[in-house]
Amino acid sequence: MTTSDALSRLAAGLTEEDAAASAVRHGEWRHVIRNGTSEVLDSDNDMVSYTQYDMVTNEHIARQDPATTLRRVQAIRRATAEAQGILEAVSDDGRFVLVVNSVEAILRELASIYTDDETEGTPCSD
C-alpha cells in the first residue's frame, strides 16, 4: 500500500465515521442497568439501546457514543496532518529514512482501521 493509498483510505474512513456519528443522537452515552435490563441512555436520558440479555454489547455501544467518536476522528485527523507535515519536511537524501519509514508505518496502521484488506504491513511507497 502506498502512503497516498493509506491517506486516501484513512480520509474516506474518517469521513464516513464522522457522518455516522453526526447523524445519531449527540452527546455522551452511558450504560445503565435498571430492573435487570441493560440500557444505553443519551445525555437527555433517552434510550439508545435496550436488552435483557446482552449487557456486554450495550457497554460497547455506550463507549462508542457520538461525542467520543467525533473526538477520536478529530484526534486521528490531527495526527495524520502532523504525520503528513513530517513527511513533507524531511529530506530525501537518506538521513531521515527511519523517520519516514516510521511515519509511513503509523499512517498504514491508522488506515487499517477502515479496511479488511490483507495488505496491512506491506511497505508504503510513493
What pLDDT is stored for residue 126 in this prediction? 43
What pLDDT is stored for residue 92 in this prediction? 62
* Inter-CA distances, 48 with 18, 31, 58, 92, 119, Å: 18, 10, 9, 51, 36
Q: Where are the domains of the chain?
A: 1-22+66-126, 29-64
Taking residues 27-52, report their average pLDDT. 85
The answer to whether the CB of 76 falls within 8 A of the CB of 67 is no
pTM here is: 0.69
pLDDT, tens digit, for every residue of 50-104? 887 777 888 888 888 888 888 889 989 988 888 888 877 776 656 677 777 888 8
Taking residues 12-25, report their average pLDDT. 87
Number of C-beta neighbours around residue 83 at 10 A: 20
pLDDT band at 122 (very low <50, low <70, confident <90, very high): very low
Measured distance CA(11)–CA(5) in Å, rounded: 10
